Chains A and B, each alone.
Chain A
Amino acid sequence: MNSFDRSLDKIDIMKLLIFLMVFIIVTFAFIFLLIIPNVKEHRILQAEYKRVLVHKTRVENLFLERETELSKLKAENAHVISAFKHPFTQEEFIRYTGKFFSQVSLTEITKSEYKKEFVEYELNVTSMLKTPTNFYNFLEGLNRYSSIVQADFPIHLESSKESISSTFKIKVYDLNATKTH
């Protein structure tokens, strides 16, 4: 810039007005044509985003609640869940009852659907036992057996010289394989 420019010493009032006009027009054009519509849209989108975020957070809290409830239930009923999943086999049951009885034999009577998602097997058990105490112990341990088994009527006990022969029904409950999750 040379030192002979005196445009700042003697300001041309017309030029100043023209530049001021240009400045104002450009500024207003930007503000009204660009920034205000965009800011409006921005606000709407921000509100929408916040609404969606709140909704999602609520659902997430609900989900976490369900997860804790589910894991609590799973922990509390671990035995029951695994017992329902455990497939019932006659060999395993005979091995288990061998602790209490001798000469155990099983005959399957029926197999039917039970309450939506379960399968109910009915089996007849015939066995020999030394004392009735064995029968109590068997019933006592049945609740901790690896499958869900219910001992049921009719129960027939007949004493012979050495031991007692017993016949009773058991009902075994498994998860219905077609509806497992």
Chain B
Amino acid sequence: MRLSFIAPRRKPFLSLFSKMWVIFIGLMSLFMIIFNFYIVIEMSSFKSGVVDLTKEREMLEVKIDEDDETIGIILRQKALSEEIFSNNTLLKESMKNLFDLVPDQITLKKVQMERNSLILYGVAPTQDTFNFLLAAPLKSIFHTSNTTFYLTKEGWYNFVSINKIIGEDGLIE
């Protein structure tokens, strides 16, 4: 038996007002969770970034050490080669100076160059020629300079001139 003129309506479990609130609170929670999730992801990326950067830094430090060592080796090679090259140049200059020193009248037969001494064997027309032209400059270079002469059959003089530098660093100049 119908007592009402209108059809019955189902009463909703939640009213519109309640639904709006539930949706609002739900959305807000979702936003918070998403934000938190974002922070957590970024934190883990920082953590792995720190590990990666530390590894990279340690690798670079090892490479720097290797480079330093190589630089040291090259610098030592450079220093040694410069010393050798200058010694070679000095030796060349010494020899050149020696041969420039010898005048045309005097003929050298034998030259013995040591670090601190120079022994010359040769022939000179007269003793004076030797004394003026060669002995004088030799005396100015070396600390001691001794010459012995002996006459040859042709009337020239064979000489042996022993010159020495006394001291520690005695390169012939």
CA–CA, A62 and B15, complex, Å: 69
Residues of chain A in range 25-40 having any CB-CB distance to chain B below 8 Å: 26-27, 30-31, 34-35, 38-39
Chain B stretch 1-55: residues in CB contact (< 8 A) with chain A: 9, 12, 15-18, 21, 24-25, 28-29, 32-33, 35-36, 39-40, 42-43, 46-47, 49-50, 53-54
Cα–Cα, bound, A150→B109 (Å):
26
In the complex, whether B132 has a CB less than 8 A from a CB of chain A is no
CB contacts (< 8 Å) of A69 on chain B: these are 67, 71
Interface of B is mostly: helix
Cβ contact within 8 Å between A56 and B73:
no
Chain A interface residue bracket vs B:
35 or more
Query: Binding site of A, secondary structure by majority: helix, strand, loop or mixed?
Result: helix
In the complex, per-residue mask of A134-174: 1 if CB is within 8 Å of any chain B CB, else 0: 01100110110000111111111111000000000001010
A126 CB, nearest partner CB in chain B, Å: 14
Contacts of B43 in A (CB 8 A): 38, 41-42, 45
Q: Does B101 contact A (CB under 8 A)?
A: no
Which residues of the other chain, A, contact B71 by a CB distance below 8 angstroms? 66, 69-70, 73
- Measured between alpha carbons, how far is A8 from B17 in the docked complex, in Å? 6
Contacts known (A23-B21, A153-B114); A53 close to B12, Cβ less than 8 A: no
Q: Is B143 an interface residue (CB 8 A)?
A: no
Shortest beta-carbon distance, A129 to chain B, in Å? Answer: 12
Are B18 and A56 neighbours in the complex by a CB distance under 8 Å?
A: no
The answer to whether B112 touches A156 (Cβ under 8 A) is yes
Q: List 29 A-B contacts (CB under 8 A).
A: A8-B16, A11-B17, A23-B24, A23-B25, A27-B28, A34-B36, A35-B32, A35-B39, A38-B40, A45-B43, A46-B46, A49-B50, A49-B53, A53-B49, A55-B53, A60-B57, A80-B77, A135-B95, A139-B89, A139-B95, A154-B115, A155-B91, A155-B113, A156-B111, A156-B112, A157-B110, A157-B113, A159-B110, A181-B69
Given contacts A150-B88, A154-B114, 9 further A-B pairs with CB under 8 A are A39-B39, A49-B53, A55-B53, A70-B70, A70-B74, A73-B75, A142-B88, A157-B112, A181-B73
The interface of chain B, by Cβ under 8 A from chain A, is 9, 12, 15-18, 21, 24-25, 28-29, 32-33, 35-36, 39-40, 42-43, 46-47, 49-50, 53-54, 56-57, 60-61, 63-64, 67-71, 73-78, 80-81, 84-85, 87-89, 91-92, 95-96, 99, 108-115
